[in-house]
Chains A and B, each alone.
Chain A
Amino acid sequence: MAALDVGWADPARLYGSARRARLLLDQARAEVAEILGARPDELSFTPSGTQAVHLGVLGALAGRKRAGRHLVASAVEHSSVLHAAGVHERDGGTVETVGVERTGRVSPADFAAAVAQPGTAVACLQTANHEVGTLQPIAEAAEACRAAGVPLFVDAAQSAGRLPIPPGWSILAASAHKWGGPAGVGVLAIRKGVRWRSPYPEDERESRRVPGFENVPAVVAAAAALRARVAEAATESARLSALIERIRHEVPRLVPDVEVIGDPVERLPHLVTFSCLYVEGEALLTELDKAGFAVSSGSSCTASTLRPSHVLEAMGVLTHGNVRVSLPRGVSAEDVDRFLTVLPDIVRRIRQSLGVH
């Protein structure tokens, strides 16, 4: 709120209030850069995490046009990465998606082999998967990219603020609302010396990387939220991770015919996904919502496209009856207990209505 009073002015101008806005913006930049392991001049703010991904991927491809037109990405990247890849493909480029293991983790050897192909311009890998929480082998991927001379784009939206950013990235994207900041702030960091050219018309904003008037109050709030999240991360992440472990352990015990999905150990602290056999994802979501639980699903009946999630498909796991539980900061053990209490009966009733005994 204080940021709205002092940060409203245009940081590109020279009058007093504008200079104050510029100071706030650069201070926020320095703070966020330090936490994410970047230099302040490497980091720009964008109007969303999605736009940071689009700018990161397409700008890296534009900067590497002469090296090649081949893009490598894991099959379980966020849709913003896959959409950017789709634009690249329509533009005459080629895309290879690297498959994943049953846990959703990309095999470092497969990723390295794909990156080493001649003509590879850019490689993309997320720090953690947004649907199943599995952490990706960023260090190994970065080593393979370094050996092949290929820049690595890392989508850190899921883990920034919760886990340290693994080193080795060339271009990094993140999203403030994922760490508890406001909507409308993304982060794009481009390592010094990495070739990158804006896919958009340029202006003087954000080192010519992101056009348009910066939302200084929201950026200031995003930096404050990241600071707070990181300060509590060690204790809160451990607490949430224990609650997730409880859900992972209890759900298959309480509900018959359930597949808990994703890596049980190498995972995000706050997220778990499971699929219930013979249950419609949409019905499950509706019933859990009535019981006061707002959860997501990768089942096709819950998607506007009527296709199952590309992540679950790539993993080869059950896509129907799918529930994704993302624990918010401060959630209590009692909330998790209540979830575990209502779930078995909800699943039983839905199965009954479908004639399954």
Chain B
Amino acid sequence: MWRRKPARETPQEAAATAARPAAPPATALTIDAMGRKCPIPIIMLADQINAVGLGAVVAVLADDPAAFTDIPAWCRLKSHEHVASYELPQGGWSIHVRRNY
């Protein structure tokens, strides 16, 4: 099949959504949700995001394809910032979220 085009977004959103192959930068907290199906990765993120300081970044490691769409959607609904999603060499993504409040 062909590559899916994401929904129309602002340039910042589009830059964040496109999975990047480069090594992800360090984050304040890493949540390992590998092998967990949605909504579990999002529940783990919602539970733990307040463990980091305001403006700090949390990385969620997940390989459920739903997480790739749903974590940015959660950020939009909850007014946190989806920074970027990085493809992991072993499969799945490291999805970076900045705590806004």
Which residues of A are at the interface with B, using a C-beta cutoff of 8 A? 75, 82, 85-86, 89, 95-102, 107, 110, 257, 259, 277-280, 299-301, 306-308, 310, 312-321, 354-356
Contacts of A85 in B (CB 8 A): 2
Q: Could you say which residues of chain A place their CB within 8 Å of the CB of B70? A: 308, 318-320
Q: Do the beta carbons of B2 and A95 come within 8 Å of each other? A: yes
- The residue on A at minimum CB distance from B9 is A316
CB distance from B25 to the nearest CB of A (A): 24
Q: Which residues of B contact A97 (CB under 8 A)?
A: 2, 4-5
List the A side residues contacting B5 at CB < 8 Å.
Answer: 75, 97-99, 314
Do A101 and B7 touch across chains, with their CB atoms under 8 A apart?
yes
What is the distance, in angstroms, from A224's C-beta to the closest C-beta of chain B? 39
Interface residues in chain B, defined as those with a beta carbon under 8 Å from any beta carbon in chain A: 1-2, 4-9, 17, 37-40, 42-43, 46, 64-66, 69-70, 72-74, 77
Asked if B39 and A315 sit within 8 Å, CB to CB, the answer is no
Q: A259-B77, A318-B73, A354-B40 are in contact. Are A300 and B4 (CB under 8 A)?
A: no
- Report yes or no: B42 in contact with A278, Cβ–Cβ below 8 A: yes
Q: How far is the CA of A95 from the CA of B4 in the complex (A)?
A: 11
- Complex alpha-carbon distance, A65 and B71, angstroms: 42
B77: chain A residues within 8 A (beta carbon) = 257, 259, 277, 318
| Pairs A–B under 8 Å by Cβ, sample size 15 | A85-B2, A99-B7, A102-B8, A277-B39, A277-B74, A277-B77, A278-B43, A300-B38, A301-B37, A308-B65, A308-B69, A313-B4, A316-B7, A316-B69, A354-B43
Residue of A nearest to B1 (CB): A86
Please give, as numbers and ranges, the residues of chain B lying within 8 Å of A279 by CB-CB distance. 39
A257 to B4, CA, bound (A): 27
Is A280 a contact partner of B39 (Cβ separation < 8 A)? Answer: yes
> Cα distance A6–B46 when bound, in Å?
64
Q: Tell me, in angstroms, the Cα distance from A312 to B72 when the chains sit together.
A: 13
Contact residues in A for B37 (Cβ distance below 8 Å): 280, 300-301
Q: In whole angstroms, what is the CA distance A321 to B74 when docked?
A: 12
Kindly list chain B residues whose C-beta atoms are within 8 Å of the C-beta of A102: 7-8
Residues in B with CB closer than 8 Å to A107 are 8
Shortest beta-carbon distance, B64 to chain A, in Å?
7
Q: Do B39 and A354 touch across chains, with their CB atoms under 8 A apart?
A: yes
Min CB distance A273 to B, Å, is 14
CB contact under 8 A between A299 and B43, given known A97-B5, A110-B8, A314-B7: no
* Residue pair A319, B66 in contact (C-beta under 8 Å): yes
Q: Which residues of A contact B42 (CB under 8 A)?
A: 277-278, 320
- A277-B39, A355-B43 known; A314 vs B66 contact (CB < 8 Å): no
A101–B74 Cα distance when bound, in Å, is 17
Question: B69–A278 contact, CB under 8 A?
Answer: no
Q: Which residue of the partner chain B has the closest CB to A318?
A: B73
Please name all residues of chain B whose beta carbon is closer than 8 Å to the beta carbon of A89 when the two chains form the complex.
Answer: 1-2
Chain A's closest residue to B67 (CB) is: A320
CB < 8 Å neighbour of B4 from A75, A86, A101, A354: A75
- Chain B: minimal CB distance from A64 (Å): 19
State the CA gap A298–B94 with chains docked (Å).
Answer: 24
A-side contacts of B8, CB under 8 Å: 99-102, 107, 110
